[in-house]
Amino acid sequence: MAAVNRDPLTAPHAVRNDAVLAACTALLATVLALLVGHGRDPDALGWALMLTAHVPLAWRRRHPLPVLLLVLLPVVPYHALDNNHAAPVAATMIALYTVAATGTPRRTLLLGTVVIGTTLTVNALTNPDGFVELFRITGWVVAVLFLGVDVRFYRQYVAAIVERAERAERTREEEARRRVAEERLRIARDLHDLLAHSITLIGVQTSVAAHVLAADPERLDRETVAKALDDIAETCRTARGELRTTLEVLRDNGGPSDARGPSDTRGPLAGLAGVPDLVEAARLAGARVEPTVRVASSVPPAVGAAAYRLVQEALTNAVRHAGPEPAVRVDLREEDGLLRLSVTDDGTGPTPGTIPGFGLVGMRERARSVGGTLDAGPRTGGGFEVTAELPLTPATTREGTG
């Protein structure tokens, strides 16, 4: 079956295998010429014509049509001389089959007409009364041509199946690579938000402790220092927990995501319920935060996680860049099927000339991941503002995006 399925034009060792086939066919023709009495025994010219007709078969797959013509060239006078008619039949049929199996149906039909016409003409000249022989020869030619065409269509069918399977495999591999890239981007965003937020809070709290220690060593405010150190420890514990949850995604070998139920989590998927904790952490870092949350209906997990991360990054930037004790306003409200988010501060904003980080880029990517938009920039009256619109309809959100 492998030989039938394989394209004869690309088969390995074609000339070598066909040379062996030509030698075997010539041996068969010799046996038929000696043992089968179908016409007169070949003379020297007959033997030369018959054996010459088998030589081109060694190149039948490389040049099917020229080989057929080279086979017919000695076969026609061989039959015209009324030599043993059964001997060269195998070589002729092999050449006909090769042309039918490698050529187009139109060419095969035209070639079959020419071969049958030539055969009938030769038979009419050598055996005008042999009507049975006439139909027998025609039937063999037609059968061989149909066999060749059928094999050709079968090979095309197999090739189409293989091509579709390969294309499907490539599509699956591309989809797998795309999912891996998206998951890596999601984890990178989560790590950025987590580490930037935690490290910023730790830095601010450490500065507070250092300021208290250096301001008046003789009148050390132990209570303030202890509170700052406790805040640092609490921030470290929270960051360690979220980091462990995020890293579990990288170690997850539980199978494809499709096999997981809707309640399964894929990394940190905090929601709007965690916004008060973000506000409290920002207040501990010295910011004066006024939160407003007006969301009546349930928020899809992906949208809630995106909103949580956007508020987290916006508060982190405010604590880092807005100056000492900035006034920050956080507003979350549901309106026209959208979750509208706004975080504004009255600070000085980033220092001019500094190299921007990946915070704003990550925020825009996170908003786009759930079909939303985000704008960020300086306010007209001073300070900085981050606004986002996240759709609440399930058709436009993608569950599981962190």
pLDDT per residue as tens digits for the range 294-341: 887 778 888 888 888 888 888 888 887 777 778 899 999 988 888 999
In the predicted model, is pLDDT for residue 243 greater than 50?
Answer: yes
pLDDT at 265: 39
**Across residues 73-96, what is the average pLDDT?**
84
- Given a contact cutoff of 8 angstroms between Cβ atoms, the answer to whether 349 and 321 are in contact is yes
The span from the CA of 204 to the CA of 227, in Å, is 13
Residue with tokens 């187009």: 104
Confidence band of 389 (pLDDT split at 50, 70, 90): very high
Q: What is the pLDDT of residues 115-152, one digit of tens each?
A: 777 766 766 666 655 556 666 777 777 888 888 888 88
In the predicted model, is pLDDT for residue 258 greater than 50?
Answer: no
pLDDT at 218: 64
Highest mean pLDDT among 52-56, 83-87, 147-151: 52-56
pLDDT top residue among 242 and 52 = 52
| CA 261 vs CA 258, 330, 400: distances in Å | 8, 34, 11
pLDDT at 330: 92
In the predicted model, is pLDDT for residue 167 greater than 50?
Answer: yes
| pTM summary value | 0.44
pLDDT at 18: 85
Confidence band of 267 (pLDDT split at 50, 70, 90): very low
pLDDT at 99: 84
pLDDT at 395: 45
pLDDT at 144: 83
Strand order of the sheet with strand 327-335? 288-294, 327-335, 338-345, 384-391, 373-378
pLDDT at 398: 45
In the predicted model, is pLDDT for residue 261 greater than 70?
Answer: no
Average pLDDT, rounded, for the chain: 76
pLDDT at 387: 92
**Across residues 62-72, what is the average pLDDT?**
86
Q: Which residue, among 82, 76, 78, 92, has the nearest Cα to 28 in the 3D structure?
A: 92
- Given a contact cutoff of 8 angstroms between Cβ atoms, the answer to whether 334 and 309 are in contact is no
